Structure 1
Amino acid sequence: MSATSTEYWLGIDCGGTYLKAGLYDRQGAELCISRQALPVISEHPGWAERDMSLLWKACIETIATLLRQSGVNGHQVQAIGISAQGKGLFLLDKENRPLGNAMLSSDRRAIDVVSQWQRDGLPEMLYPLTRQTLWTGHPVSLLRWVKQHQPERYQKIGSVMMAHDYLRFCLTGERGCEETNISESNLYNMMQGEYDPQLTQWLGISEVSCTLPPIVGSTEICGKVTHEVAEATGLCAGTPVVGGLFDVVSTAICAGLQDEFTLNAVMGTWAVTSGVAKNISPNEPYPYVYGRYANTPGDDENNYIVHEASPTSSANLEWLTQQYGGISFDEINQSVGALPKAGSDVMFLPFLYGSNAGLDMTAGFYGLQSLHRREHLLQAVYEGVVFSHMTHLNRMRERFTQVRKLRVTGGPARSKVWMQMLADVSGLPVELPQVEETGCLGAALVALVGSGVYSSVKQAQSQLNHAIQRIEPDSAAWSAYQLKFTRYQYLIEALHGYHVRCSSLSKS
């Protein structure tokens, strides 16, 4: 059957650095992908913003390019789904226009807000209801910052959204907050499955309760492509658009997570380790983050996604390579692969965009001497990113005690050197699903369900037939890595003392 006669489902993925769109058939086979870089605006230290109008313009251009390059007619696109980075804050005013730049999940301007909430014991009040920690990039933290520092803007808020909610609104003109994403906002009561005004009252932002759009499901048809969008993109007016997904959920679906024997590690801007659970455990060793999974109305059971995360992954490597300029990923892998495993004293703390070791922690190299070369720095970044992932993975293995394997997605999954390192450090077999764009595919899968091709996400998931590469851990390297991982942890502990003493200086 030719591309001009086949039905397709469009999946859009709005990430930290790229907007992507892909076309898939009913078995989840990819026809074509189009990508466009998304600039991050950082006008002040710690700020990470995005121009909302330019984001929508990039989305229009990416869809139009995809249809043109693939030769697919808009009438062949049966439904659309969107996957996007979680957290952050996308505001519309009372006339449904963008209210300033969006703030991304890696934005750290609200660090003083979160620090004060921690001193006030607010996280302990919130967690039993929300099953969320408090983070600088949470919508609630950013909303409180806007209230304190931009009161005129705060008064103009008409809608509180996240990235895929905004793009869905642009496609359809319909407001809504999708459940897998909004359930991790600290605006949502996980026990009740709905917004809770008690939360905004505790957080000092009760005024925004009336600006929260209706909660919509991942597979729910939430609107249809407007005539204006159809003219700009080549889509057909009236094409259904479903709620979509938090990108962590999208990746978990594409990684094949269905039980408690497999965890998924996402390596991108964020280091995320996820598992799927049927219930919320009452007594847990850590305050794990929970979210609603992509449950379909009528499912026998409603699953949760459970995860640990921090913005401490491969974006650190991107920063370093930008400083050198022109070094390719293949060259990096060859350089790192030629060095003895854990053979260098150089360590790297991958905290350029945030940390999982305290709000004050920042990035840095330690252990450098004149004998070290560029390849040692690159190896230290690889190790530091893996060690940061291990912080989350080790905690998750206390919750998921029967884990047998780790499935990995994201850019680093293309590096056999990096994946072997992760297997060696974790002691787990690492499996690599051969899916080019998990965000786009996951979004297309919920569109398939929403348009009636499959009755549930689980059924759609079962149709995927992607190859999986498996990497076994090297037991001979495990001891050397454990020693260096311990030293990495000691360095973080020592720096905690440094930050405490610096803090006392600022108060004196």
Structure 2
Amino acid sequence: MTLLGLDVGTAACKGLLLDPGEGITGTARRDYPLSFPAPGRVELDPGLVWDAVRDVVGELAARAGAAGRPVRALTFSVSCDEAVAVDAEGRALGPCIMALDTRSSAEAERFERTVGRRRIYELTGLPVHAMFPLVRLLWLREHEPALFRRTARFLAWHEYLALRLGLEPVGDPSVAARTLAYDIRARAWSDELLAAAGLRASLFARVQPSGTAIGELPAAAAGTLGLGAGVRLVTGGMDQSMAALGSGAIEPGAAMVGTGTWQAVTVVAEAPILTEAMLASGFAFGPHIAPDRYAAMATNASGGSLLRWARDVFAPGEPYERLLPDRFERPTDLLVLPHFEGSVSPWMDPASRGAIVGLDLATGRQELLQAIIEGVTFELRENLERMEAGGLAIRDLRATGGGARSTAWLQLKADATGRPVSTVNIGEPGAFAAACLAGVGAGVFASVAEPIARFVRTTATYEPRPPMAAAYGERFARYRRLYPALSGLDRPTRRGRAGAAPPGPTPGR
């Protein structure tokens, strides 16, 4: 018997097979393209996502069947902040508006004025932004009224996929909490916010705890996917919290930093801390996948994307492993403000742009690449220190994503933040967490903590080197003055706020 976990992101569907006794036995992946139909608009065809899910499940089901261990249950980890409009027959009414899309900024601002920035944060744990599904519905009502009238449900990816599989579209608290319509303390759709928006609760899916069995796949759907009879679909969760869970972050104080295209940090908390200081820094709170826990989230709109930019400009086609050493031996003399895609947490300034300070004729490619990584890591440190100042305890930091494959970057994270940074043995923590929840819903595991304790192991810990940590401490003090000094001087002249990046988790999307 095997459990199947699926991670549906903005660029790919990744799948993982988990044997409850042996561990991970197989993985698969299918990519799909985003479309950019107009400036500021980013969309994804739900049919492409369904095709990728079908192919990944089919490949892994065939492997499991050939090994004599057929799939018993499956679960999704999903990119949040997005929803698919479907009609009364469950058919998608068009492409999904993706989180990076900025078309509904005006509706977000109006809704914030109507309800109040502070009140929305108290209820939802979210800073208001154009990307959230409630705001997308307001945009559809205003600009696509015919499509809005035909919209029977507005479904997150795992809810839409459940519908495609012939089951009720059931959601979970972690994804519901990213709609701007969910009361994270009451764990229910907010009548107050829905009334203010003029929307009906029936547009959204019923919510059940992560790890709840929704039902068995109908024979036709199972056959389409290459699965046998009796396979259960189980509720999953949002990608950021799922990746944190899959890296072993269950107890309060455990934190995960995922460095993919962007860099995002998730800290497990006992309760949300919805203060003005946390709101000003753009920290989002929502239910964690683990029961009776919350997740605090901060996002840097930079990470691998910025390193890729530098590689493409200064060393086109060069493999990253040839560009970065095994470790950096001294800090650079440069300061990089990594706002090439705007700022999310902690400065909350999507119109901010990047800067490189301290260049001279002796500056080389290697120093510049290191300085970019330093800038991204200083943003991480700023977020961590503001979270702790706001009352969050952070006792350990686990690294995941593409950035966790670079020993130089891992050691620099430890040196520049002054904290130990650990890696784990799970390469796809989101899909792994989904497989663990599938086991909970199938009755294989008593709780999600059971497989996490059984299979997740620390593979390495990078300790801060005292001389480097001291040197980076001095540079960080200078770095903190960089954004205030440049603010107002770096406003974009061509794209304006249309190129702004949204405040949300995109670890490795």
TM normalised by structure 1 equals: 0.87
**Cα pair 1:271 1:388 within 8 Å, conserved:** no
Counterpart position of 2:305:
315
**Cα pair 1:48 1:106 within 8 Å, conserved:** yes
| Residues in 2 aligned to 1:102 and 1:28: alpha-carbon distance in whole angstroms | 38
Comparing 23-32 with 281-290, greater Cα deviation is found at: 281-290
1:108-151 per-position Cα deviation (integer Å, ceiling 9, x unaligned): 33333334455667221211222222123221232222233322
Task: Calculate the aligned-residue CA RMSD, in Å.
Answer: 2.9
| Residues in 1 aligned to 2:21 and 2:343: alpha-carbon distance in whole angstroms | 38
**Cα pair 1:427 1:473 within 8 Å, conserved:** yes
Q: 1:47 aligns with which of 41, 46, 69?
A: 41
* Alpha-carbon offset, residue 353 of structure 1: 6.8
Q: 2:295 aligns with which of 286, 305, 308?
A: 305
| Residues in 2 aligned to 1:332 and 1:135: alpha-carbon distance in whole angstroms | 37
Q: 2:487 aligns with which of 474, 489, 496?
A: 496
Q: Give SS of 1:244's match.
A: strand
The verdict on how the C-alpha distance between 1:380 and 1:114 changes in structure 2, with shifts beyond 3 A counting, is farther
Counterpart position of 1:96:
90
Aligned runs of 1:21-420 on 2, under 5 Å? 21-27=15-21, 29-69=23-63, 72=66, 76-118=70-112, 122-202=116-196, 204=197, 206-281=198-273, 285-287=277-279, 288-295=283-290, 302-322=292-312, 325-334=316-325, 337=327, 341-345=330-334, 347-352=336-341, 355-356=344-345, 357-367=347-357, 368-399=359-390, 402-420=393-411
Q: Give SS of 2:419's match.
A: coil
**Cα pair 1:218 1:294 within 8 Å, conserved:** yes
* Alpha-carbon offset, residue 200 of structure 1: 2.3
**Cα pair 1:433 1:467 within 8 Å, conserved:** yes
Corresponding letter in the other structure for 1:438 = P
TM normalised by structure 2 equals: 0.87
Query: Gaps spanning 5+ residues in structure 1: where?
Result: 1-6, 297-301
Corresponding letter in the other structure for 1:317 = L
1:67-96 per-position Cα deviation (integer Å, ceiling 9, x unaligned): 345664797101001101221222212321
Corresponding letter in the other structure for 2:131 = G
| Residues in 2 aligned to 1:101 and 1:258: alpha-carbon distance in whole angstroms | 35
* Alpha-carbon offset, residue 239 of structure 1: 0.8
Q: Give SS of 2:17's match.
A: strand
The verdict on how the C-alpha distance between 1:113 and 1:390 changes in structure 2, with shifts beyond 3 A counting, is farther
| Residues in 2 aligned to 1:459 and 1:395: alpha-carbon distance in whole angstroms | 33
Comparing 454-463 with 432-441, greater Cα deviation is found at: 454-463
* Alpha-carbon offset, residue 98 of structure 1: 1.2
* Alpha-carbon offset, residue 35 of structure 1: 0.9
| Residues in 1 aligned to 2:139 and 2:480: alpha-carbon distance in whole angstroms | 32
**Cα pair 1:75 1:235 within 8 Å, conserved:** no
Comparing 116-125 with 48-57, greater Cα deviation is found at: 116-125
Corresponding letter in the other structure for 1:405 = D
| Residues in 2 aligned to 1:98 and 1:145: alpha-carbon distance in whole angstroms | 17
Counterpart position of 1:459:
450
* Alpha-carbon offset, residue 359 of structure 1: 4.1
The verdict on how the C-alpha distance between 1:375 and 1:464 changes in structure 2, with shifts beyond 3 A counting, is same
* Alpha-carbon offset, residue 216 of structure 1: 2.2
**Cα pair 2:172 2:208 within 8 Å, conserved:** yes
Aligned residues: 490
Corresponding letter in the other structure for 2:47 = S
| Residues in 2 aligned to 1:171 and 1:389: alpha-carbon distance in whole angstroms | 40
Comparing 81-90 with 257-266, greater Cα deviation is found at: 257-266
Q: 2:414 aligns with which of 403, 416, 423?
A: 423
**Cα pair 2:399 2:422 within 8 Å, conserved:** yes
* Alpha-carbon offset, residue 483 of structure 1: 4.0
Q: Identity of paired residues, percent?
A: 25
Corresponding letter in the other structure for 1:151 = P
Q: Give SS of 2:222's match.
A: helix
Higher relative CO (Cα under 8 Å, sequence separation at least 6) belongs to 2
**Cα pair 2:10 2:79 within 8 Å, conserved:** yes
* Alpha-carbon offset, residue 458 of structure 1: 2.1
